[in-house]
Amino acid sequence: MIEVIVKNILFFAQAAAPGYTLFLQMKDDDERSLPIVVGQFEAQAIALALEQINLDRPMTHDLLSQVITNMTDGLESVAIQKLKEGTFYAELNVRNAQGIEKIDARPSDAIALALRARVPIKVSKEVFDEASIAMPLSAELTEKSEPSLAENVSEITHRAELQFDLERDLREAISKEDYEKAALIRDRLSALSISGLHS
């Protein structure tokens, strides 16, 4: 297995299916990266973990991380061990009294949990060799073709925090039966989702 780090999260608006792509890179090799397409929610969860931002209430990955921590001996690592028909397969390696239990997971969820638990992210050498791509060698080309990790993660994190706040305000407006305010907040949430698809 090869240990990797999260190099970047990019949004590709011009792709056949617009969305976020996560790039994993070997610690000692910046010439190749493993791209994995992830959903908006997973991209936000990964960005929040990278920035070490904790929201007022736990998101799904925060909750699952706490469950693993409190009910087992902890998460040891996560591994992307297989690529089949264009789909990556990952597993959580969870410590318990019997040893290591392997739990099937989507790579995006596994990575979001690994970042929260601060445990290694690993990829099988076969998968990395088969699916990794060469990254631009020229620093100038890299700067033109890819915004920095901080810029991308910051933008995704900001959108996640704004969405979280709007959803909280929407719940409060509905509980107070202030439906006019709720409609305005709902429209802002819709606009935020659309802007995410065109950023």
Q: What is the mean pLDDT of residues 74-86?
A: 94
**pLDDT for residue 142:** 40
Mean pLDDT across the chain, nearest whole number? 81
Q: How confident is the model at residue 158 (pLDDT cuts 50, 70, 90)?
A: low
> Which secondary structure element, helix H or strand E, spans residue 18, and what is its range?
none
The three-state secondary structure class of 59 is coil
Give the Å distances, CA to CA, from 128 to 23, 35, 65, 85, 195.
Answer: 12, 10, 26, 15, 33
- Helical ranges in 1-81 per DSSP H: 40-50, 60-71
User: For 44-64, what is each residue's pLDDT tens digit?
Assistant: 889 888 888 777 778 888 899
94 — phi, psi (to 5°)? Answer: -105, 130
Q: Compare 144 and 39 and report the one with higher pLDDT.
A: 39
**pLDDT for residue 40:** 82
Q: Rounded to whole angstroms, how far apart are CA atoms 88 and 116? A: 21
Nearest to 63 by CA among 116, 101, 9: 116
User: For 113-134, what is each residue's pLDDT tens digit?
Assistant: 999 999 999 999 999 999 988 8
> Which secondary structure element, helix H or strand E, spans residue 88, and what is its range?
strand 87-96
Q: How far is CA 140 from the centre of its chain?
A: 27
Query: Under a CB-based contact definition with an 8 Å cutoff, are residues 4 and 78 in contact?
Result: no
Q: What is the mean pLDDT of residues 146-175?
A: 69
| 75-84/121-123 β-pairing | parallel
* Portion of the chain with pLDDT greater than 70, in percent: 80
Is residue 138 scored above 70 in pLDDT? no
User: For 4-21, what is each residue's pLDDT tens digit?
Assistant: 999 888 876 555 556 788
Is residue 93 scored above 80 in pLDDT? yes
**pLDDT for residue 166:** 78
Domains of the chain, earliest start first? 2-137 (3.10.690.10)
Per DSSP, the residues of 98-155 read TEEEEEEE-HHHHHHHHHHHT--EEE-HHHHHHH-EEPP--HHHHHHHS--HHHHHHH
User: For 33-44, what is each residue's pLDDT tens digit?
Assistant: 999 988 888 888
